[in-house]
Amino acid sequence: MIELRYPIGRFQRPEVVSESDRQNAVQPIAALPAQIRAAVSGWNAEQFDTPYRPDGWTVRQLLHHVPESHMNSYIRFKLALTEDEPLVKPYDEDAWARLPDATTGPVDLSLNLLDTLHQRWVLLLRSMTAEEWNRTFRHPEIGVVRLDINALLYSWHGKHHLAHITGLRDRKGW
């Protein structure tokens, strides 16, 4: 079950982040929308409504979750770049995944949102200076988060959920 839940392993927070690490985090974020589209190309409603693992979300819920989560991260970047250590608001991602727009909404809406969001986010990430990468926000549950660590986390996050989708696709032979 742990392999189905964390198919690429859990996020490993590094002690030190180099400029190369920062730049290497951006490419997976840039590539994710096209990779997810390719992974679900030609799928039907039944496939989208299949859980990616036992007791997990459906692929539809997952496809709505990714841009919601990444939108929150993008906004946290903007806040941290324009305010001194802003306090960010957490959200209940499981509750969001149970809302009707996530359980029944057309996946193309979220795939389009992911495309546009990532274009903007990557533009921002590629423009950041070394000083800006070190800026922080405060999360009430996690504490102080540096932007470079957050970029690495979201680079992992995209790959993590893409592996959920491709793992299901491969197990089902879709």
Distances (CA, A) of 35 to 115, 139, 159, 163, 165: 11, 30, 9, 10, 10
Over residues 15-29, the pLDDT tens digits come to 899 999 999 999 999
d(C-alpha 11, C-alpha 137), whole Å: 19
User: How far apart (Å, rounded) are the C-alpha atoms in residues 94 and 27?
Assistant: 28
Q: Mind listing the domains of the chain with CATH numbers? A: 46-172 (1.20.120.450)
Residue 1 pLDDT greater than 70, yes or no:
no
Q: What is the mean pLDDT of residues 107-131?
A: 98
Q: Check whether 33 has a pLDDT greater than 90.
A: yes
Q: Is the full-model pTM beyond 0.75?
A: yes
pLDDT of residue 2: 72
- β partners of residue 146: 136
Contacts of 5 (CB under 8 A, 6+ apart): 53, 56
Three-state DSSP class for residue 86: coil
| % of the chain surpassing 70 pLDDT | 99
pLDDT for res 87: 98
Please state, in angstroms and rounded to a whole number, the distance separating the CA atoms of residues 36 and 94: 21
Instruction: Note the pLDDT tens digit of each residue in 38-90.
Output: 999 999 999 999 999 999 999 999 999 999 999 999 999 999 999 999 999 99
How far is 9 from 25, CA to CA, in rounded Å? 17
Q: Amino acid identity of 161?
A: H
To 10 degrees, the CA torsion angle through 27, 112, 94, 80?
50
What count of other Cβ atoms lies within 10 Å of the Cβ of residue 138? 13
Mean pLDDT estimate for the chain: 97
